Structure 1
């Protein structure tokens, strides 16, 4: 006769199996819980960047993320940030956001300060105010701070400039820098680029012209303002150097326009020539105290490698090609000037 299986043993096995299943399910639930909180997609596409300003703490960052809907679940983001010990280690910067980024990846990026560099590319600015405004739109630095540094005698003197000519330290080019760069580091970056450009050979070229390095840039700014086409720059530079050598006034229209602060002027009238300003080269001999615009690298090179000519005068061509007629005597220049004035009158250009 077969033995009867003990019901107690069967019950025990069922209990163990149930316990194992419950344990596995609990473990799976725990893994899923942590996975979703750490590795699950959470960042939205509401914003392209997260900006963390200098001095902000985690509460500020959290509020910004919450208010702009940067993550779908702010609670899991906060939980991940606290467990990853990011709360006390906030780093300012400009951080690129990727839709579907997990909390772990997002927090890790912020924790490391792995921000995206800003591409600061520029070519022409007439004034320091225009440049400062441009910077204020690109970096955390505000325009007031940029101007304050450029206008600080104590600050610019450490680089060998004064407040009139310090602007030449900014060479138009492409720069990559962190969004939250400090003002000191910002100007140090430009000065290093400036110093690298001004090699020993270029400094010798400047000395051969009887000009200081800043004066070369000041003259280059006038050349740049006069020339639409780069191939005319060396010719114009040669003309102005001829004037400086013989002690003539430069009588440059861009310096008058700069002195008046009206860059809409297309026709420099006689009444403008008496504007009282050290930048008015119709009144003052020699170079103005500072640049009339940020000179391009090509303009600086054009001064250093000027065309040797006997030109003393120039006037815009009457065909409005944005090129110039050059002359070495007054009579020829007057003829050229008359042709241009006639062309202006025919087009009713009064200003």
Structure 2
């Protein structure tokens, strides 16, 4: 007959082992849960993490450690990555870090590609020099176009031989760290072509424009002539009527563009009489290229100008940016005299 005491002692021993194992497992689970959802130590407001192509979870953790973040146990990270479905699925990009970021939140963000998105805005009326200068100042954007002249830039964008002026639509474009300025410019070029095609397709009848490129040129001149959106169709109407009767456009922004770096903020009478391909006082018709980046409103105005009989316009001179439109030279000269009087009065009233 087997001794029952020994068997009972063994059963109690197994029970103790089982309870101890459960206790250890419970402790490990609580520790794991605490790790998964506890804020990572060492993160300051405004910090970020960049995941490059081919980075493994171990590489990401080393990057975090190099930035002063206490990552803890790598085994727990691997378990959590499998649990969240992030294992082997970390997406490339920059991720925002905050003092309350937990390992679980970070892994989910990297799994879902919730990268930091920044914005770059091309402003209506900017010229190509303005666009390139602004791009060059953007931190975090790869400056692939650095060192390229305008011709090489357009070749790199897939449009060799095309003049860059006016070819990039003024809009706000989102980008992420690691993107290049050429990628951004490709998007802006495509957006402009689509906007131009749409405007040209819906153009008014009997426009004195041969093609969409001429509409782009006219839109750029309209863009530079007024910042008042509702005035653009009227401005375009004046230019269209002048083109139809062979009257010179006589618009200062084209002269300024033709002056290039020589323009110092003021336009003189001698500048109006100095001939350049862009001087619409000395040459009839449109300029050889656009003079700025026109927005969608200017494109619509150039292709659907306002009806009327005005052939002239001049600034009101009251600081509103608006213009007085006239059908006759006599009425225009009166409006010009009014403008000069207001201008002189404002200068006299200005504090010395």
Partner of 2:288: 289
1:80 and 2:81 equivalent?
no
Residue pair 1:168, 1:294 contacting (<8 A) in 2 also? yes
The alpha-carbon deviation at position 237 of structure 1 amounts to 0.8
Structure 1 residues 331 and 149, CA gap change in structure 2 (3 angstroms): same
Kept in 2, the 8 Å contact 1:46–1:68? The answer is: no
Give runs of ≥4 in structure 1 deviating > 6 Å. 85-90
CA distance in 2, matches of 1:54, 1:136: 23
* Aligned counterparts of 2:78 and 2:10: Cα–Cα separation in 1: 44
Aligned 1:127-276 pairs, distance under 5 A: 127-135=127-135, 140-142=140-142, 145=145, 148=148, 151-152=151-152, 153-155=154-156, 158-159=158-159, 162-163=162-163, 166-182=164-180, 185-199=183-197, 202-203=200-201, 205=203, 208-258=207-257, 259-260=259-260, 265=265, 268-273=267-272
1:15-72 per-residue CA deviation (whole Å, 9 max, x = no partner) reads 3343233222222233344434445442776244625276685688556534555x4x
| In structure 2, distance between residues paired with 1:276 and 1:90 | 60
Please tell me whether the aligned partners of residues 38 and 102 of structure 1 are also in contact (alpha carbons under 8 angstroms): yes
Q: Matches of 1:65 and 1:305 in 2, distance apart?
A: 56
Alignment-derived partner of residue 52 in structure 1: 50
Shift of 1:233: 1.3
Q: TM-score, normalised by structure 1?
A: 0.75
Stretches of structure 2 that go unaligned for 5 or more consecutive residues are none
Are the counterparts in 1 of residues 170 and 295 from structure 2 also a CA contact under 8 Å? yes
**Residue 92 (structure 1) shift:** 3.3
When residues 77 and 19 of structure 1 are mapped into structure 2, their CA distance, relative to the original with a 3 A threshold, is closer
Structure 2 partner of 1:339? 338
Per the alignment, do residues 167 and 56 of structure 1 end up closer, same or farther by CA in structure 2, a change over 3 Å counting? farther
The TM-score with structure 2 as length reference comes to 0.74
Aligned-pair Cα RMSD in Å? 4.1
